[in-house]
Amino acid sequence: MKIIAEKINGTRKRVAQAIQERDAEFIQNLAKEQAEAGATWLDANAGTAPQREPEDLIWLVENIQAVTDTPIALDSANPRALEAAIKVVKNKPMINSISLEPGRMDVFPIVAEHKCPAVALAMDEKGIPKTKDERINTIGRILEKTRSMGIQDDSLYFDPLAMTIGTGQENALLFFDTVRQIRAKFPEVHITCGLSNISFGLPARKYINRVFLALCMESGMDCAICNPNSKDIQTTILAAELLLNKDRYCLKYTRAFRAGVFDE
Amino acid sequence: MKIIAEKINGTRKRVAQAIQERDAEFIQNLAKEQAEAGATWLDANAGTAPQREPEDLIWLVENIQAVTDTPIALDSANPRALEAAIKVVKNKPMINSISLEPGRMDVFPIVAEHKCPAVALAMDEKGIPKTKDERINTIGRILEKTRSMGIQDDSLYFDPLAMTIGTGQENALLFFDTVRQIRAKFPEVHITCGLSNISFGLPARKYINRVFLALCMESGMDCAICNPNSKDIQTTILAAELLLNKDRYCLKYTRAFRAGVFDE
């Protein structure tokens, strides 16, 4: 299971403040704690100020890679910010994200040129497709485009976009079905999602999120955008990999046990 | 989700002692705490002493129903003990269990006569079948027999027998596949299992058990033999029912939240 660590996100108030005040220590602590928890990529989102974004993203990248070698996921829809950040990034970054939204079209060539892994949102000109078939259709259209540009299927992390149960009781089932169909139809691609979206607006969210994570993994999702420091996330991934026959000789599970990951 | 509450089991040392010493308070406390936690049935297993079993089982039944109206699952392979206990039981009991093991043949007529719900183990003359197909075949043979005796499919709770991951890494996947196939092939029957078997011999078992429970529910299992007082079990069932579109308007989840079931 791969993890895109979500904490360094300028749409979060405290992170926005740290970016504005150039509080390097705050950002570096977030980078270190997420890297040490086993993040595959550290998301870096400089927030929503388009004028400042290139400069802010560069500042984030430089501060993150001052404390860890874990690759960065450059989280922006702004080609200028992406191009600027990609020049200073040391390890090959992930691009977060491409989609068929009009504003994101210019991100495709950046992914193609730098041969970066990329998150691909199942969104088109009209936003988030409602049905499973429409989402699969959108993903197919994205793949037509990426293939024509020489982007490999297995460098793409499709996000079918989990919507909260709070606005539709069938939303998780729709998500699992979509994941299964992506897995069947496009076997090379990866599948990811922002885990906590599923419980937006509901109480006791961590209990929903951890069960959702396990069920997503069973459906075929192999990457999550989440908080890697959460014990719930860590223990769920370990147990789900064990149960889904992805932990040879139970080695990861028993090692994590000896390392004190579990509370008992 | 139905729960067969597992604590009153004479193969557990402390319970065996309570039965032997006629420690009614100990048994009644187990009965009360499990009933209050929402058990559908309270398992009553008098242990392994064949001579004393009828008398011990009657004592268990009388003490349990002195403190709760929750139905009892009479857990015995001994027709004498079952017949004796069934005479004193007030609410219609469950019988735990039938199977094609030679020693359990005389339990079928008791289930048929009293029209009890029953746990049916996917076991035959040779023990636990190894493959999914053999288990499905065994279940088919049990259903031939029960149907011929007028036992309704929907009164049966088939246990496909989860084996620990510790002795076979594919055991959970085998279990989920078997559950899916039972659900497809015999749509009327219920499916259950002893939840904690999956983690026997492994460390940090509760983390495995709770993820296993969620994945079993997704596969189609609708009953678990477990400890209903476990917060892990309770919160996993609530979250899984929410995610699997079995909690209309999120009512059960939000009510449980207000009742303080969750820690946050």
What confidence tens digit (pLDDT) does each residue in B228-253 have? 999 999 999 999 999 999 999 999 99
Name the amino acid, one letter, at B50.
Answer: P
Give CA separation, B24 vs A243, B18, B60, B81, in Å: 39, 7, 8, 19
Confidence at B101, pLDDT banded by 50, 70, 90: very high
CA R_g for chain B: 18
- pLDDT, one tens digit per residue, over A76-89 is 999 999 999 999 99
Among candidate residues B229, B235, B261, the one with its CA nearest the CA of residue B8: B229
Q: Does one domain contain both B82 and B158? A: yes
Residue A75 has pLDDT above 70, yes or no: yes
User: The whole model's pTM is what?
Assistant: 0.96
- pLDDT, one tens digit per residue, over A146-172 is 999 999 999 999 999 999 999 999 999
Q: Does one domain contain both A240 and A220? A: no
CB-based contact A94:A72 (threshold 8 Å): yes
Q: Does one domain contain both B143 and B217? A: yes
Residue A264 has pLDDT above 70, yes or no: no
Q: Do B203 and A254 touch (CB under 8 A)?
A: yes
Q: Which domain holds residue B19?
A: 2-228
CB-based contact B70:B35 (threshold 8 Å): yes
Q: How many domains does chain A have?
A: 2
**Residues of chain A that touch chain B, judged by Cβ-Cβ distance less than 8 Å:** 165-166, 169-170, 172-173, 176, 198, 202-204, 206-208, 210-212, 214-215, 218, 235-236, 238-240, 242-245, 247-250, 253-254, 257, 262, 264
CB-based contact A165:A129 (threshold 8 Å): no
What is the mean pLDDT of the segment spanning A110-124?
Answer: 97
B4: helix, strand or coil: strand
Q: Does one domain contain both B246 and B220? A: no
Strands B2-5 and B223-226 turn out to be parallel
CB-nearest partner of B250 from A165, A218, A236: A165
Residues A185 and A189: their CA atoms lie apart, in Å, by 10
Q: Does one domain contain both A107 and A43? A: yes
Q: Which residues in chain A have their CB less than 8 angstroms from residue B245's CB?
A: 169-170, 172-173
pLDDT at B264: 61
Residue B195 has pLDDT above 80, yes or no: yes
Q: Does one domain contain both B38 and B164? A: yes
- pLDDT, one tens digit per residue, over A63-73 is 999 999 999 99
Q: Going edge to edge, which strands form the sheet with B156-159?
A: B190-191, B156-159, B118-121, B94-98, B72-75, B41-44, B2-5, B223-226
Q: Does one domain contain both B197 and B244? A: no
Q: Does one domain contain both A235 and A250? A: yes
The answer to whether ipTM exceeds 0.90 is: yes
Residue A49 has pLDDT above 90, yes or no: no
Q: Which CATH number belongs to the domain containing residue B65 in this structure?
A: 3.20.20.20
Q: Which residues contact A28 (CB under 8 A, 6 or more apart)?
A: A63, A64, A66, A67
